[in-house]
Structure 1
């Protein structure tokens, strides 16, 4: 069993660079060109979908064995001790991320440029309020963040802003601090981040030429795969990571793997990557600390191993189909 766990960890880290161009809009000037649905639903795509669904079903039964690896339980207990700092990390980490953004002349993401003085003022107001150690200031900052997000949503479109749905989750966590909804805040953060990753992954299937342009422009290694197949695989890896965050499987390991990934991709994409993924780094750090302490994974609704495996297998295929069809319909 330890052999399988070691292979799992190695696989996550080794294949993680496939996700290097997570937000393709930041690094290409090529216009999005939707490919036919028949091209997306190739034999390779369908076979990979079934194999991954089967792999995830088996994975759900291997997770408890991770705690039996020497040293893992000790590390787990050590990380548990940092949970009391999670909210402070989110609050001050968000302030740090916004500082990087406003200095870069952007809001929320590198593609949303600041055009007016009031936007700069509002960004700095959010930063100052987040740095004030009082929950009322944090709530006011979250209100300003939500207003600015809605403003950008107004001219970018709701479909585009779904790429950054995790910001809604962050705003929600900050807004409900010290209220009756406080207990559901971090599960909402898991859900929002996982769904955002799934949504962004589908973009690579629907608009593959944008990612191909990035591969050629930045000399992204494809590890011997043809660029077209490489894109399909990269999107699947990213989609699986988002899905696992939602269903509550292996969250600490995923957070560590993604943190390593986003650090390595700065070597390819530079400062834009730092600014764009700073907020994601903060969220992943919280996932590393928290694990699933506050989250009742949906897979746990089913008691027997067979039921859990069937749930994960069918649920993955359902979620994959739903995301792909909705994205393709409205893209």
Structure 2
């Protein structure tokens, strides 16, 4: 009995340590591993029986507790006060969100032109000579509001071109680009498709992008081994396996929070933006250029002042929707990989 207690205490301590370590050092884990380490998208991912282990379940329960606590707090006077404070602090950002997006994307495309040989994101290499100049032209179209839709259409074209070169599964990492393209087109033409705000569309694509990326942390933790070997202090004593599980859970939870209630998603956007910005100091200009688009989107989400009444169902249903999202993304990732690279007979057994 005492041995069982000791084991349970040890496991709980490990989970707590891993969670704290990942939250403190997630900036390093948040750097897109494909930009800095060797990777093989067609390689066999880690089995679901290894991903869905006891530590993973414990970390997920801890994440759900935090998510539900945020929902509970939002419906109190404290939550209202926090929203009012956020509204005051972010008032100027909210007014100039579109301008910030245009300026940041202008920096992004000019940087890609300067670097050369890149389609939208650092690991998508190309030797097509006109691509850098095309991306410079997209930056020029951002100067005027009326030509913003041309930049949006150009992003869709580049995304399609990269998909033809690298495959659908690889580009599944980057639906945020399509969301930004829709944002530029809708803002430039003053459209609200199906009554949806352009910012809400890009918010959903940002959430999808980050939830997919978190699955990759669980499926291919070995891709990050060189980073962890070079910076062992990142894990704060946790094993690399536990650290990557915790980093993935944190990223998935914050990404899921982007589609939840206003205070929860605004706080998640602030945390994610801070993580991405802190990673720039560690990994330099490549990381700054590659993540500039999602950083400005997260800042816009943090400044969004749309309110909604938070009811008990938002708290009660949070675990169900979180679990459904987790199951869906795990299925899409593993089934998609098996279909494209291994055949459906390679689907993992849960």
Shorter-chain TM range is 0.7 to 0.9
From 37, 56, 74, the equivalent of 2:48 is: 37
Q: How many residues are matched?
A: 309
Q: Distance in 2 between matches of 1:94 and 1:13?
A: 32
RMSD between superposed Cα atoms in Å: 2.4
> SS of the counterpart of 2:238?
coil
Question: Displacement, 1:54?
Answer: 3.6
Question: Displacement, 1:67?
Answer: 3.7
From 16, 41, 53, the equivalent of 2:64 is: 53
Identify the range of structure 1 (271-280 vs 261-270) with the bigger mean alpha-carbon deviation.
261-270
Q: Distance in 1 between matches of 2:20 and 2:192?
A: 34
Summarize the Cα distance change of 1:74–1:42 in structure 2 as closer, same or farther, 3 Å threshold.
closer
> SS of the counterpart of 1:265?
helix
Q: Distance in 1 between matches of 2:269 and 2:159?
A: 25
Q: Confirm whether residue 204 of structure 1 aligns to residue 217 of structure 2.
A: yes
**8 Å CA contact retained: 2:46, 2:219:** yes
Q: Deviations over 1:126-163 (max 9, x none)?
A: 011112x232x111121122111110011111111111
Q: Confirm whether residue 179 of structure 1 aligns to residue 185 of structure 2.
A: no
From 145, 153, 171, the equivalent of 1:161 is: 171
From 122, 126, 141, the equivalent of 1:129 is: 141
In structure 2, the residue matched to 1:25 is 34
Question: Displacement, 1:14?
Answer: 8.1
Identify the range of structure 1 (56-65 vs 87-96) with the bigger mean alpha-carbon deviation.
56-65
**8 Å CA contact retained: 1:53, 1:317:** no
Q: Distance in 2 between matches of 1:17 and 1:66?
A: 28
Q: Deviations over 1:63-117 (max 9, x none)?
A: 2423436xx7345224234423111111222111111222122222110124112
**8 Å CA contact retained: 2:206, 2:255:** yes
Summarize the Cα distance change of 1:86–1:160 in structure 2 as closer, same or farther, 3 Å threshold.
same
Question: Displacement, 1:16?
Answer: 5.1
From 308, 317, 325, the equivalent of 1:319 is: 325
TM-score where L is the length of structure 2: 0.81
The unaligned stretches of length 5 or more in structure 1 are: 1-10
Summarize the Cα distance change of 1:127–1:220 in structure 2 as closer, same or farther, 3 Å threshold.
farther
Summarize the Cα distance change of 1:51–1:221 in structure 2 as closer, same or farther, 3 Å threshold.
closer
Question: Displacement, 1:30?
Answer: 4.6
**8 Å CA contact retained: 2:21, 2:236:** no
Q: Distance in 1 between matches of 2:157 and 2:107?
A: 19
Q: Confirm whether residue 246 of structure 1 aligns to residue 259 of structure 2.
A: yes
**8 Å CA contact retained: 1:205, 1:231:** yes
Q: Distance in 2 between matches of 1:54 and 1:78?
A: 28
**8 Å CA contact retained: 1:130, 1:141:** yes
From 238, 253, 260, the equivalent of 1:225 is: 238
TM-score where L is the length of structure 1: 0.85
Q: Distance in 2 between matches of 1:122 and 1:290?
A: 32
> SS of the counterpart of 1:247?
coil
Q: Distance in 1 between matches of 2:258 and 2:26?
A: 18
In structure 1, the residue matched to 2:316 is 310
Identify the range of structure 1 (46-55 vs 138-147) with the bigger mean alpha-carbon deviation.
46-55
Question: Displacement, 1:268?
Answer: 2.6
> SS of the counterpart of 1:112?
strand
> SS of the counterpart of 1:140?
helix
Q: Distance in 2 between matches of 1:187 and 1:164?
A: 17
> SS of the counterpart of 2:142?
helix
From 278, 283, 296, the equivalent of 2:292 is: 278
Q: Distance in 1 between matches of 2:22 and 2:331?
A: 30
From 101, 121, 129, the equivalent of 1:109 is: 121
